[in-house]
Amino acid sequence: MTSILGDRAYAKELQAGETLFWQGDTPDAVYQVLEGFVKLTWSSPCGRETISELLLPGDVFDLPSCLDGSPYPFTCKAPSNCGARVAVVSRGALLEDAQLSWRCQVRLVQQLRRQRSTRVASPAERVEVRLARALLWLGESLGERVGQRVTFPLQLTRQELAEWIGTTTETVIRLCSDWKRRALIECDRHQLTLTNVQTLGLLGDAA
């Protein structure tokens, strides 16, 4: 895809699991996802890592840190099962180009609206509700739909899914095994298929 960052940007390839920047680093650039997706993770004081957000092609990050110079609040990585490609513009170039800064702010507002209209994980809800919503979101964002079936690349590990929805890897494995038995999903090492989107949608609404 074409980056909104313009001629000042250069492309950077991330290998599977590679870190782009760490939580607490001094901001030196703003980024836009070009291919694949990246995850923003937050580490608690006790060292537990949680996925805060998944960023898709077209999404920009981390503009707020670049504008005010505050340390990155998250770590940014490619998912464990696939790489990603991002566009990069230095913080200095961003601050001296008002039009570029404005384009990034408009895109960020669009992303915030999308996030608010899409519920994925809330700690107050049952874990099966959170997992159903997460899989439906991945299917809608990355998948190809034929009837009630949606197939998408399996780019997150079970551990990453657990970090995203706030549960344990064992719980995700147990629920996925149960849903395979009930013919709600099919999965192998490379892709996952939601075989009954309607039923999963009902699970996701059962808050």
Neighbours of 47 (CB within 10 A): 6
* Banded model confidence at residue 123, pLDDT cuts 50, 70, 90: low
pLDDT at 117: 62
Peptide linkage before 25 cis (omega within 30 of 0)? no
Q: Which residue has the higher pLDDT, 48 or 197?
A: 197
> Does residue 87 surpass a pLDDT of 60?
yes
Short-list 29, 31, 36, CA closest to 3:
31
Model pLDDT for residues 35-84, shown as the tens digit of each residue:
998 999 988 777 777 888 889 899 999 999 999 999 999 999 999 888 99
Which residues are CB-contacts of 163 (< 8 A; sequence separation ≥ 6)? 41, 49, 50, 51
Domains in the chain (CATH in brackets) are 6-117 (2.60.120.10), 127-205 (1.10.10.10)
Rounded to whole angstroms, the Cα distance separating 129 from 201 reads 9
Look at residue 116 in the predicted model and tell me its pLDDT.
Answer: 64
- Tokens 């309607």 belong to residue: 198
Burial class (CB in 10 A: 0-12, 13-18, 19+), 90: middle
- Average pLDDT over the chain reads 88
Mean pLDDT of 94-121: 83
Check if the beta carbon of residue 149 is closer than 8 Å to that of residue 195: yes
The stretch 165-171 carries a mean pLDDT of: 91
Q: Which of 48, 203, 42, 41 is nearest to 126 (CA)?
A: 203
Q: What is the 3-state secondary structure (H, E, C) of 65-80?
A: HHHHCCCCCCEEECCC
What share of the chain has pLDDT > 90, as a percent? 53
- DSSP secondary structure string for all residues of 21-62: E-TTPPP-EEEEEEES-EEEEEE-TT--EEEEEEE-TT-EE-
Average pLDDT on 151-157 reads 87
